[in-house]
Amino acid sequence: MKITNPATGAVIANVAADNAAAVRRKYEAARAGQSAWAKVPIRKRLDAIAKFRQRIVDKRETLARTLTQEVGKPIRQSRNELNGLLGRIDFFLAESLRALREEKVYADPKQQLDERITHEPLGVIANVSAWNYPYFVGSNVFVPALVAGNAVLYKPSEFATLTGLHIAEMLHEAGVPRDAFVPVVGDGAAGAALTRQPVDGVFFTGSYATGAKIAAAAGRRMIKVQLELGGKDPVYVCEDVDIKATAAGIADGAFYNAGQSCCSVERIYVHESVHDAFVAAFVAEVKGYKMGDPMDEATYIGAIARRPQLDVLKRQVADAKKKGATLLTGGSVVRGKGNWFEPTVFTDVDHSMALMKDESFGPIIGIEAVADDEAAVDLMNDTEYGLTAGVYTHDAKRARKILAQVRAGSVYWNCCDRVSPRLPWSGVGHSGIGLTLSTYGIQTFTRPKAWHLRNV
């Protein structure tokens, strides 16, 4: 399999992909290794994760450069991802013992009855992952899954393979056995071969289209399936905000990582009384972004990781223009080597346009004026997705009222495009099922076992 730098189109590595027979052998190795790993005391499993964390600290710059070269992410944003990863690992190191300890939920001395819950590992799990934040979306799964005593078959995205192999190497160096964490290399075919194995759970991060296929294939097997899928995340700007600061914050939420975040802001609704001022401030901010060599420290907009996404963006631009939207900046593929798309802002948009309904996953955004909060809520909820949604206002009561009506896994007041390890990360509708992060996101890699104990 060729690994290409999306910023230049140059082939940077060749790796051997796993065919179906190799995937089967890897599954068998993980199945054989799981019970030994589950018997390792949890504190020792946590020690291995702490050593993995140290390996990341030691190799941070090399890892950041590899990530930038294979996904086109600006180098500063690659470093941010690695720094953020350390905080997530710290959360798992601090919380896992508590989340996974045996719970005594009831005691009746008269009947000499005890009721307890233990958290048993699921067994062997498949972790099929996305490329856009490979360290984040991968570690949300494999770190707590390993801590809980599962063996993990980890398939990084074919667009983040080198990063996936770095992760495997560091985990093995840290003491996680090779048959407890097993990388599977390849594209969708390897992913499909992996999810066909008799695993005990499938944990997927990626698009709705792929997630739906995985859920259908797993449905008859009665195994745990968790899907972290896409979004079409809205924000609503009320008339009482500081326009310039709000525009800058939301532009960052829309264009960071060139808009290739599951929780990127993908739609903006603005109270009509401040619409024009907001649009002017927003466009000024976006025009200030430096697009270019992702290795350059000053670059803010990097390359588009997957070439086919350029066609999605072109189609959304053409559709919006045809239906009467006003293009304020950008709108085109940048000619030359690599995959580049100009940061693009539209207004005069509506929900007949793909730009406002379908996930864009690129540096492109529509801004729509709304008359009041009720109209904003209706439009925010007019989507199959439900990952995140935000509101900007000085009025706390108004924010709570709006956010309570919005159908989304995470809601934001005066912030956006944010993930916290302490809070569950989940989606509604086409944004997926299940969750990662928080203590629930540790327990999700276990099966609660109910103990009814009578000491007679």
Catalytic residues: 228, 262
Question: With binding defined as CB under 6 A, does residue 132 bind ligand NAD?
Answer: yes
Question: With binding defined as CB under 6 A, does residue 207 bind ligand NAD?
Answer: yes
Nearest to 72 by CA among 242, 375, 373, 310: 310
Question: With binding defined as CB under 6 A, does residue 161 bind ligand NAD?
Answer: no
327 burial (CB, 10 Å; 0-12 / 13-18 / 19+) is middle
Smallest gap from residue 49 Cβ to ligand NAD (A): 21
* Binds ligand NAD (CB under 6 A): choice among 70, 81, 228, 342: 228
Question: With binding defined as CB under 6 A, does residue 34 bind ligand NAD?
Answer: no
What part of residues 289-348 is at the interface with ligand NAD (CB under 6 A)? none
Smallest gap from residue 160 Cβ to ligand NAD (A): 8
For ligand NAD, what does the binding mask look like between residues 410 and 439, x meaning CB under 6 A?
Answer: ---------------x-x----x-------
Smallest gap from residue 71 Cβ to ligand NAD (A): 10
Question: With binding defined as CB under 6 A, does residue 130 bind ligand NAD?
Answer: yes
Rounded distance, CA 454 to CA 114, Å?
6
Distance of CA 106 to the CA centre of its chain: 38
Smallest gap from residue 223 Cβ to ligand NAD (A): 14
- Phi first, then psi, for residue 7 (nearest 5°) are -80, -25
Question: With binding defined as CB under 6 A, does residue 154 bind ligand NAD?
Answer: no
Looking at beta carbons only, is 69 or 246 nearer to ligand NAD?
Answer: 69
Inter-CA distances, 233 with 50, 140, 170, 389, Å: 34, 21, 34, 6
Smallest gap from residue 8 Cβ to ligand NAD (A): 20
Contact region with ligand NAD (CB under 6 A), list: 223-231, 248-256, 291-299, 375-383: 223-231
Question: With binding defined as CB under 6 A, does residue 388 bind ligand NAD?
Answer: no
Smallest gap from residue 209 Cβ to ligand NAD (A): 6
Question: With binding defined as CB under 6 A, does residue 210 bind ligand NAD?
Answer: yes
Contact region with ligand NAD (CB under 6 A), list: 106-114, 161-169, 224-232, 271-279: 224-232
Smallest gap from residue 327 Cβ to ligand NAD (A): 24
For ligand NAD, what does the binding mask look like between residues 90 and 129, x meaning CB under 6 A?
Answer: --------------------------------------xx
Looking at beta carbons only, is 208 or 282 nearer to ligand NAD?
Answer: 208
CA angle 251, 77, 383 (to 5 degrees): 45
Residue with nearest beta carbon to ligand NAD: 191
Contact region with ligand NAD (CB under 6 A), list: 47-55, 85-93, 152-160, 233-241: 152-160
Looking at beta carbons only, is 150 or 197 nearer to ligand NAD?
Answer: 197
Rounded distance, CA 267 to CA 373, Å?
15
* Binds ligand NAD (CB under 6 A): choice among 359, 368, 373, 417: 359
Smallest gap from residue 276 Cβ to ligand NAD (A): 31
Question: With binding defined as CB under 6 A, does residue 213 bind ligand NAD?
Answer: yes
Inter-CA distances, 38 with 101, 146, 446, Å: 14, 9, 12
Return residues touching ligand NAD (CB under 6 A): 128-133, 137, 155, 157-158, 187-188, 191-192, 195, 205-207, 210, 213-214, 228-231, 262, 359, 361, 387, 425, 427, 432
